[in-house]
Structure formats: C-alpha cells, structure tokens
Amino acid sequence: MPTQVLIASNNHHKADEIQTLLGSDYQCLTLSNFPDAPLVIEDANTFAGNAVKKALSLVNWLKTNNKEIEGWILADDSGLEVDALEGEPGVYSARYASNNDQNCSDAANNSKLLDKLEGIEPSRRTARFRCVIALAKIGEYAQPQIFNGICEGQISEAANGVNGFGYDPLFIPKNFNNSFGELDSEIKNLLSHRASALHQLKEWLTKN
C-alpha cells in the first residue's frame, strides 16, 4: 500500500508535480481532502520558517481532531530570488503584487516583476528558485526534517510559454535558452528547485 503524504497546500499544480516526482510508492493528499484544516499565516522571514510552521501546525491539528491518517506531512515554502532586486520577491513570491498580504494571480506577480526589472540588462537579471521542504511524521510533534533545493537561472524580458505555474514563464534555467514555461514537465522535473529537494527527501524516506 502506498505511503500517504499529506501536502500542506491546496495548489493542485504543486501537488501534481510532487506526486510525479515521488512516484507510485506514495499517495499524495492535499488540504482539499481536509477542507476544515486551519489556514496557516506564513509570516516567517525565511522559507524554512514558513515550511516548519505549516508542517507542525498541521501535525497538531490532525492529532487534536483525531483525523484518521497515517504517514507524513510535507510542507514546502518556495519562491524566486532576484539578485538585482536584493533577493525579492523571496518569501513574498506568491503575494508579490498584493496590497493586503493575500496571494495574487501569477499574471499580476509576473507583471510586477517585469516592471521592477525594466531597463536592467540580461547579465544582471540573474535569479534562482529556492525550495525548502519540511517533512513531519503524522502523530509526532517533533522538529521536521528539512530539505533544500535551488535552481539557478535568469529572468527573461517577457513571459514565454504556458507550462508550469508561478514565475515559470519568466525563469530561464542555467544552460538553457527557454523558460520553464516553454520546457516540457519532464525536463523541469530534472532541473527544478522542488525536484532537487524532493529527490533528497525521497532518498531519506527510503532509509527511514
């Protein structure tokens, strides 16, 4: 029977990506399977802080409410860091264009990023996607295992491609000429920040 992994997210794009990368030995669930789960305010100033907060909050809620589920909780926080913008949008990647700290549409966030980078030459548009995953055992309120993944690249001058989500149409990974929005998912899953962190996580799970 597949090991259950509850992803602390409602983002089906992210869930599909994680399921593909983990494979058939794991059954990925999302917060859509637990619609009464509380919303966690991601107010930490680091990706790791937000990931750990989400993981432990969900561990505590499942235990307190006697939810019948076994396995692991996977909480990630990830985003884009642009060197010319001193690391922006960083932990605010999903709500970069927001005026009220709520998540924004991908189009709005991409538009703001392009506006802030207007006039900056390609050589100074270096950036990276960063992913931090916190993996917690359901039923055990203990410090989660942490896995880090990074994908280096640069920001294009216009959005290209319709694959992926978030800043994918703007991000050109290192040694490529096309954005993640243009590349096949199979290629992205070999290169991405989330793929890197998940490969480490999967290797750890096989040993534990």
pLDDT digits (tens, 9 = 90+) for 143-202: 999 999 999 999 999 999 999 889 999 999 999 999 999 999 889 888 999 999 999 999
pLDDT digits (tens, 9 = 90+) for 194-206: 999 999 999 999 8
Nearest by Cα to 147 from 131, 171, 129:
131
CATH of domain 3-207: 3.90.950.10
Task: Transcribe 140-159 into DSSP letters.
Answer: --SPPEEEEEEEEEEE-SS-
Helices then strands (H, E): number in the chain?
5, 6
Please indicate whether residue 77 is annotated as part of the active site. Answer: yes
Report strand pairing: 171-173 vs 3-7: unpaired
Average confidence (pLDDT) over 36-48: 92
Please tell me whether the overall predicted TM-score, pTM, comes out greater than 0.85 for this model: yes
The domain segmentation of the chain, as residue ranges, is 3-207
- Give strand pairing partners of 89: 81
The active-site residue, picked from 16, 25, 77, 184, is 77
Distance, CA of 203 to CA of 206 (rounded, Å): 5
Task: Tell me which DSSP letter residue 40 carries.
Answer: P
